[in-house]
Structure 1
């Protein structure tokens, strides 16, 4: 299989990667959106787990990662439920790791073990401990292929950051002692700034927060009343949305109608009257920089980066408080 990606270029893949990409489990991710229900309120917010998973695989490949680590990268999100992290919101899972909790069981029941076995791999060795793959995963605030890919993909799509800049950043990455390190301070500051756009300007965009609130209520209600089952969560976004909206449940229809309404939002303080408060997992990065023969965190070299990191942490700990008003109900 030959595959092409705007961020990382074109590659000819090994048979095992091709077989995994063609599996029903990876193909399902084409209809599992990274931002949960946000695409229902803004069609531009349409990045999928499939794009991200393939991207992580290709970034690991570009950085010289082994075929085994590329396989782990491709499959790292395969257990995500429909609407991605929305299930964490419903279950009040503040670690946002429900997909990790169910990963072993989901893999065991999938076609993945048989595909890997055909090529001489044991899924339990490759896929049940991503911590063994240092390019794929690193504990925050270090950068890794997972964090880098969704950041680059989303700033290009949602904030119009040009590919020339993104390609410049990609060229500035190297591997030192198993970790991704940037060759210039400029790119460390650049990435902190771009990551801040994602965790504050996108994750906490009022309409994005609102879509999570409304569809989260729909999903919780649907699970409680039996409109959807736990097994339905492992289908696609379209399947789950249709199952909720074609039901005869009046409350679900009311929420769906509210989701389509024209809304005006206002940011408010926690001490003020607010209609919703949402707090997501605290996310921030502090990339490593190769500097004068040493490897140093960007925050130790750049005051501006340190200040932006502090802002990300504070925003994550506080969450967002919104008031909103329905301006117009859209019937269709």
Structure 2
């Protein structure tokens, strides 16, 4: 199979990856949007978990990762539910990791073990401990292929960052002692700026916040009314939405109507009479950089990087307050 990706280019991948990509589990991710229910308010926010999963696999490949780590990268988001992280808000799961909690069970009941066995791979050794894959996952604030891919993909798509600039950044990445290291302070700061666009400017866009608030409430009500089960969340976004629209609940239908015709709102302060308040999981990156013979976090040697990170942390801790006009 030849894989074409807007960020990384064209790659011919092995049969095991082809088999996994064609599986119903990975194909389902074409219908699961990274922006969650926000795509219902702004159709341009249409990046999918499929695109991101392919991207993570290819970035790992580009950086020299093994076929096993590429498999882990491809499947790292396979258990994401309809509308992605909205389930975490609906279930008051502050760790934003519901998809991780159900991952083992989903894989065990899927076609994935059979596909991997066909090519001589043990799914248990590859898929049940992502921490072994140092390119795929790292504890924040370090960089990893997961964070790098969704950041570059979203700033290119939603903030018009030129692909040439992204390619230049990718050339700055070095793998040193199994760590992702940036070869200059300037590129490390550039990535901090891009990450801020995603985790502050995009995640806290009022339309994003409203969509999550309303869809989380819809899911809560639907579960309480026993009109859906948690298993239904393993549908695609469109199939799950269709099921929600068949609800007999007037409140649920009214909330769904808000998605089609969202009321105007504005950002306000916590002292005001606000209608919605959300504080998302705090996310920062502090890239490692190589300076002479040392590898250090950029914030330890750059006051500019330190100030930028402090601003991101402040905005994250503050959250957002919205008032309908």
Normalised-by-shorter TM-score class:
over 0.9
> Deviation of residue 311 (structure 1)?
1.5
Equivalent residue, structure 1, for 2:118: 118
> Deviation of residue 246 (structure 1)?
2.4
Equivalent residue, structure 1, for 2:37: 37
Equivalent residue, structure 2, for 1:224: 224
Structure 2 residue 9 is matched with structure 1 residue 9: yes
CA distance in 1, matches of 2:291, 2:156: 28
The answer on whether the counterparts of 1:116 and 1:122 sit within 8 Å (CA) in structure 2 is: yes
> Deviation of residue 292 (structure 1)?
1.3
Equivalent residue, structure 1, for 2:84: 84
Counterparts of 1:89-104 in structure 2, within 5 Å, are 89-104=89-104
CA distance in 1, matches of 2:102, 2:297: 34
TM-score, normalised with respect to structure 1: 0.96
Equivalent residue, structure 1, for 2:129: 129
CA distance in 1, matches of 2:65, 2:258: 46
CA distance in 2, matches of 1:119, 1:281: 38
Q: Structure 1 stretches (4+) deviating beyond 3 angstroms? A: none
The answer on whether the counterparts of 1:193 and 1:305 sit within 8 Å (CA) in structure 2 is: no
The answer on whether the counterparts of 1:265 and 1:324 sit within 8 Å (CA) in structure 2 is: yes
- Mean alpha-carbon deviation: is it higher for 30-39 or for 305-314? 305-314
3-state SS, counterpart of residue 263 of structure 1: coil
CA distance in 2, matches of 1:57, 1:137: 12
CA distance in 2, matches of 1:315, 1:94: 17
3-state SS, counterpart of residue 264 of structure 2: strand
The answer on whether the counterparts of 1:228 and 1:240 sit within 8 Å (CA) in structure 2 is: no
Gaps of 5+ in 1: 326-332
Equivalent residue, structure 2, for 1:52: 52
The answer on whether the counterparts of 2:41 and 2:262 sit within 8 Å (CA) in structure 1 is: no
- Mean alpha-carbon deviation: is it higher for 296-305 or for 191-200? 296-305
Structure 2 residue 26 is matched with structure 1 residue 26: yes
RMSD over aligned CA atoms reads 0.9
Equivalent residue, structure 1, for 2:175: 175
Equivalent residue, structure 2, for 1:151: 151
- Mean alpha-carbon deviation: is it higher for 260-269 or for 179-188? 260-269
CA distance in 2, matches of 1:250, 1:257: 11
Counterparts of 1:240-319 in structure 2, within 5 Å, are 240-319=240-319
TM-score, normalised with respect to structure 2: 0.98
> Deviation of residue 294 (structure 1)?
1.1
3-state SS, counterpart of residue 34 of structure 1: coil
The answer on whether the counterparts of 2:270 and 2:321 sit within 8 Å (CA) in structure 1 is: yes
> Deviation of residue 262 (structure 1)?
4.2
CA deviations 1:277-328 (Å, max 9, x no partner) are: 0011000000001111211111122222111111221222221111113xxx
**Number of aligned residue pairs:** 325
- Mean alpha-carbon deviation: is it higher for 279-288 or for 308-317? 308-317
Equivalent residue, structure 2, for 1:330: none
- Mean alpha-carbon deviation: is it higher for 293-302 or for 141-150? 293-302
Structure 2 residue 207 is matched with structure 1 residue 207: yes
